[in-house]
């Protein structure tokens, strides 16, 4: 009997009715014969509420005590979901905190990394035919303090457990049907990408696509753990991420991030990048050359700059722009994809605020309205004028 790790995000558990619906999905899947271990995030925007609560009594709240507070949201989720499952099938679900599930982390509070998974208690619950419901985003440090893993850390919890338990795959059940070629709220003709490789998923995540947490994909790629993205409402899987070679150079997806902050870099950025790394922040784009460089952060991550004297001294205020990234092998170098992207951009040349190129990315900084228009034009060029690729299917779900 195969073991599947399922992860449910906060939007899928936002209300009591949502929790009951997810519980019914889990029991139905269990009845089909799969062994399941389930990782959950905090319900809705619970974590943000607790962070605001902490800031209300201590504007510089951080470290150990903040982690104690922020870990509460996932504890509520595991209890609520277990209660809902047990209302359907008494005794089937057993809730576990990150520490109880054996998630051991380093000592970097609010941005910890998993260093070990001691999953014997999870194995014991599975051996008894039950379903462990595990708190994501949290663990216990090597010094036995509560820790949290940073934004999106529940994804890393799910992948780490999957590897430790030898699972068949890790399924991320979200409020979308899968990973799309673009954000359907911006481009209604966007399609689901049915299969992609780890490299493609890393690129999409790294430039701002809200698919999975970057460290989680890195961990899965390192251990060749298959991932899946599906719809929590229906239980259907839309996208599989696994180790597969690209048959040809085709565009994977277009990632539109409407609110980013761009910082020009007059100096070598090593000190800045090291500070960002230690704070658990992943830049959306970085470039450097003899004449200077560029750094692009999400709006949420840019807020960290204001409270960090080291970053503020190096970076200043920054410019508020939008970022459109075309992701594919060869996207930012000479070749057919680069040529097509350049032709699409030609109509927006006077509005272009920056162009950041790498082997796999063609990233453009624009004002928001121009960025939306460029994203639509590029999607027509790559996915509509020439027909959708064989690996895509129609979608109404938002994922990039």
Q: Is a pLDDT exceeding 60 seen at residue 205?
A: yes
The DSSP annotation for 51-90 comes to HHHHHHH-TT--HHHHHHHHTHHHHHHHHHHHHHHHHHST
Q: Give the per-residue pLDDT at 390.
A: 35
Q: Give the per-residue pLDDT at 396.
A: 43
- Please identify, in words, the CATH class of the domain defined by 253-394: alpha beta
User: Which of 34-38, 306-310, 357-361 reaches the highest mean pLDDT?
Assistant: 34-38
Q: How much is the average pLDDT of 106-116? A: 94
Q: Where in the chain is the domain with CATH 3.30.2130.10?
A: 253-394
Q: What is the C-alpha separation between 14 and 211, in angstroms, rounded?
A: 18
Q: Give the per-residue pLDDT at 367.
A: 96
Q: What is the C-alpha separation between 39 and 61, in angstroms, rounded?
A: 27
Q: Give the per-residue pLDDT at 288.
A: 82
Could you give the percent of the chain with pLDDT greater than 90? 69
- Are the CB atoms for 139 and 103 separated by under 8 Å? yes
Q: Give the per-residue pLDDT at 280.
A: 79
State the CB neighbour count (10 A cutoff) for residue 222: 11
Instruction: Reduce the DSSP state of residue 271 to 3 states and report it.
Output: helix
Confidence of residue 248 (pLDDT cuts 50, 70, 90): low
Q: Is a pLDDT exceeding 70 seen at residue 196?
A: yes
Q: What is the C-alpha separation between 106 and 111, in angstroms, rounded?
A: 9
Q: Give the per-residue pLDDT at 386.
A: 58
Arch. (CATH architecture) of 3-175 = 3-Layer(aba) Sandwich (3.40)
Q: Which of 151, 144, 65 is nearest to 107 (CA)?
A: 144
Q: Which of 368, 336, 340, 364 is nearest to 352 (CA)?
A: 364
Phi-psi region for residue 108, left (φ > 0), alpha (ψ -120 to 50) or beta? beta
Q: Give the per-residue pLDDT at 278.
A: 79
Q: Give the per-residue pLDDT at 268.
A: 73
pTM of the model: 0.85
Identify the DSSP state of 13. G
Instruction: Reduce the DSSP state of residue 375 to 3 states and report it.
Output: helix
Confidence of residue 343 (pLDDT cuts 50, 70, 90): very high
Weakest mean pLDDT among 236-240, 259-263, 281-285: 281-285
Q: How much is the average pLDDT of 151-175? A: 95
Greater pLDDT, 249 or 171: 171
Q: What is the C-alpha separation between 130 and 390, in angstroms, rounded?
A: 40
Q: Where in the chain is the domain with CATH 3.40.1160.10?
A: 3-175
Q: Is a pLDDT exceeding 70 seen at residue 376?
A: yes
């Amino acid at each position: 009997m195969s073991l599947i790790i399922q992860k449910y995000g906060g939007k899928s558990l936002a209300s009591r009715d949502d929790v009951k619906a997810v519980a019914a999905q889990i029991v139905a899947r269990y009845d089909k014969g799969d062994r399941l271990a389930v990782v959950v995030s905090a319900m809705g925007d619970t974590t943000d509420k607790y962070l605001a609560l902490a800031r209300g009594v201590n504007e510089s709240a951080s470290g150990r005590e903040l982690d104690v507070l922020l870990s509460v949201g996932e504890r509520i989720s595991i209890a609520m979901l277990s209660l809902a499952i047990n209302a359907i099938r008494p005794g089937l679900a057993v809730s576990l905190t990150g520490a109880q599930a054996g998630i051991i982390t380093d000592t970097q509070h609010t941005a910890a990394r998993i260093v070990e998974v001691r999953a014997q208690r999870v194995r014991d619950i599975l051996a008894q035919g039950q379903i462990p419901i595990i708190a994501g985003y949290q663990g216990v440090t090597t010094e036995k303090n509560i820790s949290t893993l940073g934004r999106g850390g529940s994804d890393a919890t799910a992948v780490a457990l999957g590897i430790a338990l030898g699972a068949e795959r890790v399924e991320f059940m979200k409020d979308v049907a899968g990973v799309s070629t673009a954000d359907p709220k911006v481009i209604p003709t966007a399609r689901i990408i049915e299969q992609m490789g780890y490299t493609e998923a890393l690129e999409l995540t790294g430039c701002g696509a809200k698919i999975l947490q970057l460290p989680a994909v890195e961990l899965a790629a390192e251990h060749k753990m298959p991932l899946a993205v599906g719809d929590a409402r229906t239980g259907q899987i839309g996208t599989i991420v696994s180790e597969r070679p690209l048959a040809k150079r085709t565009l994977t997806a277009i990632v539109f991030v409407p609110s980013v902050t761009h910082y020009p870099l007059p100096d070598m950025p090593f000190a800045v990048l090291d500070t960002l790394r230690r704070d658990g922040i992943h830049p959306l784009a970085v470039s450097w050359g003899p004449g200077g460089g560029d750094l692009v952060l999400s709006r949420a991550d840019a807020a960290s700059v204001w409270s960090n004297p080291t970053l503020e001294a190096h970076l200043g205020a920054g410019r508020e722009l939008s970022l459109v990234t075309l992701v594919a092998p060869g996207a930012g170098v000479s070749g057919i994809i680069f040529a097509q992207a350049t032709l699409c951009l030609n109509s927006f040349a006077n509005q272009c605020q920056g162009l950041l190129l790498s082997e796999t990315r063609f990233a453009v900084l624009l004002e928001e309205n121009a960025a939306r228009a460029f994203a639509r034009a590029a999607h027509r060029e790559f996915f509509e004028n020439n027909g959708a690729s064989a690996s895509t299917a129609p979608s109404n779900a938002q994922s990039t």
